[in-house]
Amino acid sequence: MNVKDVIDKKNIIISNTSMSKQEAIEKMSSLLGKNGYVSDVTSFQNAVNKREKEISTAVGYGVAIPHGKSDGVDRATIVILKNLSGIQWDKEVVNLVFMIAAPASANDEHLRMLSTISTFLMDENFRAKLLTAMTEDEIYNDLIKQDEAKANEKDLKNATEDNGKYLIGISACMTGIAHTYMAAEALENEAKKRGMKYKIQTNGSTGVEHRLTAKDIAEADAIVVAHDVKVDTDVFGERKFLDVPVKKAIDKPQQLVTDALALGSGDTKSETISKVEERSEETEGESKGGSFARAFYTHTMSGVSYMIPFVVVGGIFIAISFMFGIYASDPTSSQYNIWAAFFNEMGGNAAFKLYVPVLAAYISWSIADKPGLAPGMIGGMMAMNGGSGFLGGMLAGFLGGYLTKFIIKKTKNVPHTYQGLISVLLIPLLATFVVGFVMFFILNTPMSHFNTFLTTWLKSMNGSSAFVMGALLAGMMASDMGGPINKTASAFGLAMFASKIYGPSAALMVGGMVPPLGVALATVLFKNKFSNQEREAGKANWILGACFITEGAIPFAAADPLRTIPANIIGAAVGGALSMMFGITLQAPHGGIFVIPVAANKPLLYIGCILIGTVITALILGFTKKTLSESEMNKHMAAGII
């Protein structure tokens, strides 16, 4: 396969019309639909916008590479937009936009070629050719020539040069399509300039390519790990490596290679090494938020993300077992049913007993990698058995992770001969003993008493107190739609879920469903207050809201925060307050409309609470948003939006 297989002259746009980032995405997506590459433009746009929310696809040099995989894409391709007026792409202004479209089932060869094309943009001469090209044919021909030139260079890639220096590394981004390969290309190009041998492992969407071997690591003079997702750095053993975000490798490869060479020189007392380590620490601080609060949030969410499937599966299976009768899973009851017993065994005696240990294990793993799994999971199981539940599991996870990390640090200077024994026996044994001791003798008793107090207090809530609690939780869920406030409320709900208090879960799901549903309804009721682009996005929010995906409301909140966010909070708070006041419970904290029939104790009343919140949000938006003027409508029409 070559460039001709994924590039079409019809998918190249040269335009100097001023446009926004969203208008550019929409224009390019529409062209793909027109040319028969995309059958569902909205679905593909949603995939691209979802990627943009994770991290900007502006990669420097005046270039952006938005991309998405979707069932709505029929053929893998790239659409190219050149705009010399400049497009504000988050914090950067770009003139070249390469939008990658890939089917959800795209094969490895297609994805690899799309990623290869994105690396062409690292060549400044090639970028200059594109910027000065006057026609679509010129841009197309430049791409073909660049592909041929790269093919001719391929044999030089792993050549050992005169100076004998060897650069290795790993690159990995969230989606593994563009940034992963651009970072690798930038490092490789810098190595070539210096006459170095190089090998960069890419953890892309098609799997690991150019995997580093023990021989590579032993022979390397410099190691760079450029990543936005967790990668296995244990393979480097005691070797020092530079740890940076992917974008830094794309933007500053010269600095990184220089720093990595200094770091790998072994002269830890030199001023150069000191400066490198300072910069490395600064970078790490930036990537982790630079604070304990950010680290706490990151590690907790790592644990929660692995725990949620156990909670959802367990809750739904238990709810299904109750459909046969409240006591249908009890062999001594006259209601006993074998299927009820089966679902209760999977949900209550398997999934529910595992989710706190899984939470603790992956909090510990997030802190200390694989060595933290055993102490975290065992501590979590002790928390579950000892009555300290979700909160005890969190504490066990943090204790296990940081203790394991501390022990690893203190045993690094032990002779290499004994390192295998230490990592397999001493570290997990010592860390697990300490975590177990703390859980058994110190934490479990007070934490279980606290859980009992909290459970009793929440169960006693009724009337106005339940109304206030429901409003607070649902309002927090709607406030930042997937951000830290949302996640804090969600974590509280999961803690209560672990204690078999299911009212907060119902209020929280109201808070997550109302914002996208309210926005969707507003775009239908008040069409003259939304652009055609927003009305199209509103259609997708019906599905997102029904599925409990709050993030669908984010584009609307970002475009008009002073009106949208208060409307979301008020509507969600009212719906959540009514939910708790009516004593509604939900035994599956995720899943949206699909779990309500089996997991809610009052499904019709619960749906009514969601609808009331939705209507309130829509009405507030309708009354507070201004009607689009004729000039604004004309502007949208000129941009191809209407």
For the annotated catalytic residues, the residue numbers are: 67, 173
How many CB atoms lie under 10 A from the CB of residue 572? 35
List for the chain the helix, strand, coil content (%; round to 5). 65, 10, 25
Per the CB < 8 A criterion, the answer to whether 243 and 288 are in contact is: no
Question: Which long-range CB contacts under 8 A does 593-599 form with residues at least 24 apart?
Answer: 593/546, 593/547, 594/547, 595/312, 595/315, 595/316, 595/319, 598/316, 598/319, 598/320, 598/323, 599/315, 599/316, 599/319
3-state secondary structure of 60: strand
Residue of 516, 492, 518, 513 whose CA lies nearest to 504: 492
**Cα 541 from Cα 129, distance rounded (Å):** 41
Catalogue the long-range contacts made by 532-537 (C-beta closer than 8 Å, 24 or more residues apart).
Answer: 532/636, 532/641, 532/642, 533/22, 533/23, 533/26, 533/636, 533/641, 534/559, 536/42
To 5 degrees, how large is the angle CA 411–CA 417–CA 418?
40
DSSP state of 627: P
Q: Which residue in the block uniquely carries the two structure tokens 């600095």?
A: 255
Measured distance CA(71)–CA(249) in Å, rounded? 32
Tell me the backbone φ, ψ of residue 546, rounded to 5 degrees.
Answer: -60, -30
**Tokens read off for 47:** 């995939």
How far from chain centre, in Å, is Cα 394?
21
HEC string of 102-116 equals EECCCCHHHHHHHHH
* Residue written as token pair 């300490």: 434
**Sign of the CA dihedral running 178, 183, 188, 193:** positive
CA angle 312, 314, 315 (to 5 degrees): 65
